Amino acid sequence: MYRVRHAALACALALAAGGLFTGAAQARGRAAADSGPSPQLRSMLREVSARNIEHSIRTLAAFGTRHTLSSQDDPVRGIGAARDWIFDQFSQSAAASDGRMTVQRQSFIQPAGPRIPTPVTITNLVATLRGTQPESADRVYVVSGHYDSRCTDVLDFTCDAPGADDDASGVAAVLELARVMAKRKLDATVIFMAVAGEEQNLFGSAFFAAQAKAQGMDVEGMFTNDIIGSSTSDTGRRDPFTVRLFSEGVPTTETPAQAALRQSIGGENDGPSRQLARYVKEVAENSATAMHVRLIWRRDRFLRGGDQISFLQQGYPAARFTEPAENFAHQHQNVRVEDGVQFGDLPEFVDFNYTARVARVNGAALWSLAMAPTAPKEAKILTAQLTNDTTLTWRANPEPDLAGYQVVWRESTDPLWTHTIKVGNVTSFTIKDLSKDNVQVGVRAVDRDGNRSPVSFPVPAS
């Protein structure tokens, strides 16, 4: 008993002392009030037009169906007509980009499978806005929506499938972002994409992501916008200023060795997709977007998936934007009236201003990512000796406009980073009297304009 009491007393004293020092460190680390989006970002977001988005959604719905197995050469009805229209829209944006944006049709033949009765050509439309900072131009962010649609029977390619919310809304947002961003010079590269074959099993995005991986493309973040058209739930509740952002914690591609490390030190809430989602909340939840980004710590909704999974399967960080509460009478349904209830994914159920706000959230995230330095590479936490200090090291960033780094931390139970220390242009830093056993720590890079990278979560130095 004595020994236990003694140990408890010693522990209490240590906590008190640690508390004092930690308190000092925490005071030192408290973040300064965020000044919010820069004037350049604000003016870019103001250009995002709900009227353009409405026009795109109505045009896409008017192709009758955009089923992956529908006609590819009918100029009026079917996925081929939609494909050509999207290509033209991207091309118009590229024409205003001073050569920075190029547009590509990425076609491949998908072999027969459970949802593909005969081999079919699938085409992704890919608009690449090349970064202008040589040290950053090979760093890529992808924003995507799927332009294929379906009705009740996933194999029925003749029924009307207007797909206004699922997912003309996502494609319209991507087209509008391409239009607005093509005129701007970004440090890193942004790819605006409309994929097909999503409803048949994510085929278009899977092909793109596999090709990207094979080429060694450095995709440091991917967002799919899928079902971002309505802010009204099936009970009529409106939530027009919220968007959900789904992100996984444990990476889909985690190896057994990585799993063993995670089990020993934690980190199940600090995978790269989770850091990307935290980043979006930091840079896109503000007066310029008027939106609340509801982070959901789950790869996707129950029973369902989306194009972000194709990127996760290749080891790329990715997350999914979706409206706050879905109305299933307007998804994957034949257009019909039953007992006075209108079924079907029709433009009349889309809130175009809402979709424009979600597009602004994407715009704020993409612009911030593409203007900021890359997240520091090879972030390590020193564990050679038992100590109650925390020392991080990382590799120096390559960007010429780099200002320095920030070390951040939070309680292990806190969702978001709560403390920041500006540490200057160094590649290691020790936080005195802050034990790595008790908090989550990370490091991010900052440029001279104050643009911050996502946080790198360190692994123990071996």
Binding site for Zn ion (CB under 5 A): 166-167, 226
For Zn ion, the closer CB: 226 or 285: 226
CA 342, CA 359: separation in Å to the nearest integer? 27
Torsion of CA 84, 101, 40, 443, to 10 degrees: 110
**Shortest Cβ 402–Zn ion spacing (Å):** 39
The structure tokens 């000044």 sit at 35
**Shortest Cβ 196–Zn ion spacing (Å):** 11
Residue 63: is it exposed, middle or buried by C-beta count within 10 angstroms (0-12/13-18/19+)?
Answer: buried
Helix 352-371 and helix 272-284, axial crossing angle in degrees, nearest 10: 110
**Shortest Cβ 360–Zn ion spacing (Å):** 21
**Shortest Cβ 384–Zn ion spacing (Å):** 49
CA 201, CA 32: separation in Å to the nearest integer? 45
**Shortest Cβ 241–Zn ion spacing (Å):** 22
Tell me how far apart the 2 most distant CA atoms of the chain are, in Å. Answer: 87
For Zn ion, the closer CB: 306 or 376: 306
CA 223, CA 225: separation in Å to the nearest integer? 6
Tell me, what DSSP letter sits at residue 166? I
**Shortest Cβ 142–Zn ion spacing (Å):** 16
**Shortest Cβ 199–Zn ion spacing (Å):** 7
Residue at 99: amino acid letter: G
Q: Which of 461, 450, 316 is nearest to 394 (CA)?
A: 461
For Zn ion, the closer CB: 187 or 351: 351
The tokens describing 55, both together, are 């026009």
For Zn ion, the closer CB: 182 or 358: 358
For Zn ion, the closer CB: 167 or 351: 167
The helix/strand/coil state of 149 is coil
Cα 138 to Cα 28, 124, 190, 328, distances in angstroms: 36, 21, 10, 40
Cα 216 to Cα 132, 138, 219, distances in angstroms: 20, 10, 9
Query: CB within 8 A of 194, min separation 6: which ones?
Result: 86, 124, 125, 144, 145, 146, 147, 171, 174, 175
For Zn ion, the closer CB: 54 or 226: 226
For Zn ion, the closer CB: 160 or 167: 167
For Zn ion, the closer CB: 165 or 270: 165
Query: CB within 8 A of 387, min separation 6: which ones?
Result: none
For Zn ion, the closer CB: 150 or 380: 150
The helix/strand/coil state of 200 is helix
The two counts, helices (H) then strands (E), for the chain are: 11, 17
**Shortest Cβ 35–Zn ion spacing (Å):** 36
**Shortest Cβ 169–Zn ion spacing (Å):** 9
Query: CB within 8 A of 37, min separation 6: which ones?
Result: 45, 283, 286, 287, 288, 364
Tell me, what DSSP letter sits at residue 144? E
For Zn ion, the closer CB: 167 or 282: 167
**Shortest Cβ 24–Zn ion spacing (Å):** 50
